Amino acid sequence: MITVGVAVAAVLALTAGEPLPTPASIEPARVERTPLPVPGPPPTAAELVELSERIFADRAEWATDPALVYFSYPDDETGSVEVAVGEPEVAEELPRMIRLRSGAVATIRVVLDGGPPIGEGGTAAAP
């Protein structure tokens, strides 16, 4: 038992004087967000128009400041509705995907826009 203790003490004495190797710096890999494919049929242009109109009409229910919701725009090429807001916090309660009655899933894209608010009729509001 004494010989084991002497051997451990000798190893500790030998390694105590050696500096620890410094790890190489690690650069984090760039990760780009890519939407996952959504199962189901794509939404039709008519469904996207209806959804866009409903999102804009109901902005008082989901927006923290409805005056900062400028417009919503259906994009049938991507199967999404673009919602332009003045600040990102305005649309925190808005879901990023909505399943429609047909079973199709529409993506909601929130974009920052400094443009004029759009009136109820879809025209720019007077300054």
**Start-to-end C-alpha separation, the chain:** 90
pTM of this prediction exceeds 0.85: no
Report how far residue 117's alpha carbon sits from residue 103's, in angstroms, rounded to the nearest whole number.
32
Angle at Cα 122 formed by Cα 72 and Cα 118, nearest 5°?
A: 70
pLDDT tens, position by position, 5-57: 555 555 555 555 666 666 666 666 666 655 555 567 889 999 999 999 999 99
pLDDT tens, position by position, 49-108: 999 999 999 999 999 999 999 899 999 898 999 999 988 888 888 899 999 999 899 999
